[in-house]
Amino acid sequence: MTTDLQAIIEEIHATLSPRTGEGKAADYIPELANVDPKKFGIAVIDLEGRVSKVGDCDEPFSIQSISKVFTLTLALGKHGETTWNRVGREPSGSAFNSIVQLEHENGKPRNPFINAGAIAISDLVMSGHTPREAIGEIVRFVQYLADDAGIAIDPAVARSETATGFRNFALANFMKSFGKLTHPVDHVLGVYFHQCALAMSCVQLARAGLFLAANGKNPLSGHTVVSSQRARRINALMLTCGHYDGSGDFAYHVGLPGKSGVGGGILAVAPGRASVAVWSPGLNANGNSLIGSIALEMLAAKTGWSIFGAPHA
Ligand code: GLU
């Protein structure tokens, strides 16, 4: 089996490039509909820091729900295991913005990666902070993870989502009615919308996720971000909950912990091997990048990186 990652991702990119534009880019956040649907980038960073990249891999895009991995990490750092008093750890089997389950479960979201759960996590990250301070802390944390001070929020995307985030307002108000949010709803959503509006390239995203592939320590910067146990647990949540009601399908086809965003990005973690980021805006029916998911399936098949078994013969 070849381990020439650059050759592998170039081949995947060449194979799938004619299909970019398939799927449907998110347009419920109007600003996201302005992105060229044919964008396609892949970046892989191994534990020695070797970067393999192809296509639109240096162009920042809206990471949207991928930010939920970073805010969960922050919340766990601040609140430890008590974080789980506020959100569960079970796959939802529902759409990313579903409100149905919340009523049955008394306002406690199933997991930190569906919208309701991530809003509860934003509330936790805020503790002791104004919304502006909390947003600043999230940006600095992601800059620290990626070791890149150039990472910033796209204010147009944050404004666009604030103007049209009716569903998220409904979810947050619903949780507030159950006493499950500490801060005012508009403050919590201000933080949530801004974290989702972080703009990062595939290369920056792969760097930011590298600690999860390396037992909690970023091998490039030398920073210990979390314990190895916590890294394993975050990976477990990404595997079981990272793709909404498509999480089982992603585990079946790709076999790696991953987190998608409606901007068309996916961060995937190959524990002990590499961190991978892909970007292609067209989404499948579950709101996950269509071509990005196929690219990761091809990468996992070609490298034998699935966590579920030995490499193909
Ligand atoms: N900001 C998006 C929302 O709340 C995130 C959804 C996603 O990326 O899956 O609707």
Give per-residue pLDDT as tens, 63-121.
Answer: 999 999 999 999 999 999 999 999 999 998 887 788 888 888 889 999 999 999 999 99
In ligand 1, which atom is closest to the CA atom of 65?
8
Q: 17-50, pLDDT tens digit by residue?
A: 999 999 999 999 999 999 999 999 999 999 999 9
Find the 197 Cα to ligand 1 centroid distance in Å.
Answer: 9
Find the 50 Cα to ligand 1 centroid distance in Å.
Answer: 31
Find the 29 Cα to ligand 1 centroid distance in Å.
Answer: 9
Q: Report the residue among 121, 122, 153, 262 best suited for mutation to probe ligand 1: largest number of ligand atoms under 8 A from its CB.
A: 262
2 — pLDDT class (breaks 50, 70, 90): very low
Q: Report the residue among 28, 29, 169 best suited for mutation to probe ligand 1: largest number of ligand atoms under 8 A from its CB.
A: 29
Find the 220 Cα to ligand 1 centroid distance in Å.
Answer: 30
**Is the domain covering 5-63+200-303 a CATH 3.30.70.100 domain?**
no
The one-letter amino acid at 16: L
Atom 2 in ligand 1: residue holding the nearest Cα: 64
Q: Which of 296, 229, 218 is nearest to 259 (CA)?
A: 296
Mean pLDDT of the chain: 95
**pLDDT value for 3:** 67
Find the 21 Cα to ligand 1 centroid distance in Å.
Answer: 20
Domain 5-63+200-303 matches domain 65-198 at the CATH topology level: yes
Residue pair 192/118 in contact by the 8 Å Cβ criterion: yes
Residue 312 predicted with pLDDT over 80: no
CATH no. for 65-198: 3.40.710.10
Residues 286-313: what's their mean pLDDT? 90
Residue pair 251/13 in contact by the 8 Å Cβ criterion: no
**pLDDT value for 294:** 98
Two tokens at 18? 């004619």
Domain boundaries, the chain: 5-63+200-303, 65-198
Residue 1 predicted with pLDDT over 50: no
**pLDDT value for 123:** 98
The one-letter amino acid at 17: S
Find the 10 Cα to ligand 1 centroid distance in Å.
Answer: 29
Atom 4 in ligand 1: residue holding the nearest Cα: 115
Instruction: List the catalytic residues.
Output: 65, 68, 192, 244, 262
In ligand 1, which atom is closest to the CA atom of 115?
4
Which amino acids bring their CB within 6 angstroms of ligand 1? 64-65, 96-97, 115, 161, 168, 196, 261-262, 287
Q: How far apart are CA 172 and CA 161, in angstroms?
A: 14
Residues 6+ apart with CB under 8 A from 254: 268, 293, 296, 297, 300, 306
In ligand 1, which atom is closest to the CA atom of 64?
8
Residues 6+ apart with CB under 8 A from 166: none
**pLDDT value for 313:** 47
In ligand 1, which atom is closest to the CA atom of 161?
1
Q: 220-242, pLDDT tens digit by residue?
A: 989 999 999 999 999 999 999 99
Q: Half-sphere exposure of residue 64, counting CA atoms within 13 Å on the CB side?
A: 30
311 — pLDDT class (breaks 50, 70, 90): low
Q: 118-137, pLDDT tens digit by residue?
A: 999 999 999 989 999 999 99
Share of the chain above pLDDT 70, in %: 98
Residues 165-176: what's their mean pLDDT? 96
Q: Report the residue among 70, 196, 241 best suited for mutation to probe ligand 1: largest number of ligand atoms under 8 A from its CB.
A: 196
The one-letter amino acid at 20: T
Residues 278-295: what's their mean pLDDT? 96
Find the 263 Cα to ligand 1 centroid distance in Å.
Answer: 8
The one-letter amino acid at 27: D
3-7 contact pairs (CB < 8 A, 24+): 3/303, 5/44, 5/46, 5/50, 5/52, 5/274, 5/303, 6/52, 6/54
Q: Report the residue among 24, 27, 29, 64 best suited for mutation to probe ligand 1: largest number of ligand atoms under 8 A from its CB.
A: 64
Residues 182-207: what's their mean pLDDT? 98
Q: 244-280, pLDDT tens digit by residue?
A: 899 999 999 999 999 999 999 999 999 999 999 999 9
